[in-house]
């Protein structure tokens, strides 16, 4: 895979992933892990997020969506460690672009390195920031996203 050296390379890569997937950009997305027994861990009911994006960093979002097969809507996806590795591999060419800090790639690598094999990794996408969900992982993502909204 070629390195993406410029912001334009990053944009072109994002566009290619989006076209190939037929993706509708989410309002927010994140990757996290759940406890060994599914009990609450860390920052909320059942999930601790390595990183949550609200309307930013769309290349990592579409890479993650590509790996789990998410095209649109709101949903969470259990991810085997091999899927997290694939997402990291697919996003790695972006590292060549020094115009960005690549916080998602860094967070995903830390998650992969630090997560015990028995902990389930979960990718979560929210189509919109308003609403409620019966999915506890989506609910937690929406809570985090709501806390980041600017107040008037």
CATH number at residue 63: 3.30.70.2010
The mean pLDDT value for 9-16 works out to: 97
The mean pLDDT value for 43-50 works out to: 72
Q: Domain tally for the chain?
A: 1
* C-alpha–C-alpha distance, residues 3 and 146, integer Å: 35
Q: Which residue range is the domain that position 127 belongs to?
A: 7-148
What was the pLDDT predicted at 150?
61
In a domain, 18, yes or no: yes
Question: Which residue carries 């980041």 as its tokens?
Answer: 148
In a domain, 64, yes or no: yes
> Are 94 and 13 a contacting pair, CB within 8 Å?
yes
Higher pLDDT, 142 or 45: 142
In a domain, 123, yes or no: yes
Q: Global pTM? A: 0.90
- Report the candidate in 117, 48, 51, 118 with the shortest Cα–Cα distance to residue 87: 51
What was the pLDDT predicted at 151?
59
In a domain, 1, yes or no: no
Query: With bands split at pLDDT 50, 70 and 90, how would you rate the model's confidence at 64?
Result: very high
Query: With bands split at pLDDT 50, 70 and 90, how would you rate the model's confidence at 43?
Result: very low
* C-alpha–C-alpha distance, residues 112 and 19, integer Å: 28
């Amino acid at each position: 895979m070629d390195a993406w050296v410029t912001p334009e390379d990053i944009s072109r890569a994002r566009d290619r992933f989006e076209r190939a997937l037929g993706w509708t950009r989410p309002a927010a997305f994140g990757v996290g892990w759940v406890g060994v027994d599914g009990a609450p861990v860390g920052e909320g009911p059942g999930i601790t997020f390595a990183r949550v994006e609200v309307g930013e960093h769309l290349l990592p979002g579409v890479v993650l969506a590509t790996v789990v097969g998410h095209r649109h809507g709101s949903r969470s996806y259990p991810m085997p460690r091999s899927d997290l590795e694939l997402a990291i591999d697919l996003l790695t060419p972006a590292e060549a672009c020094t115009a960005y800090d690549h916080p998602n790639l860094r967070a995903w690598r830390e998650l992969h390195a630090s997560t015990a094999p028995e902990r389930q990794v979960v990718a979560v996408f929210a189509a919109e920031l308003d609403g409620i969900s019966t999915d506890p992982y989506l609910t937690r993502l929406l809570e985090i996203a709501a806390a980041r909204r600017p107040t008037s």
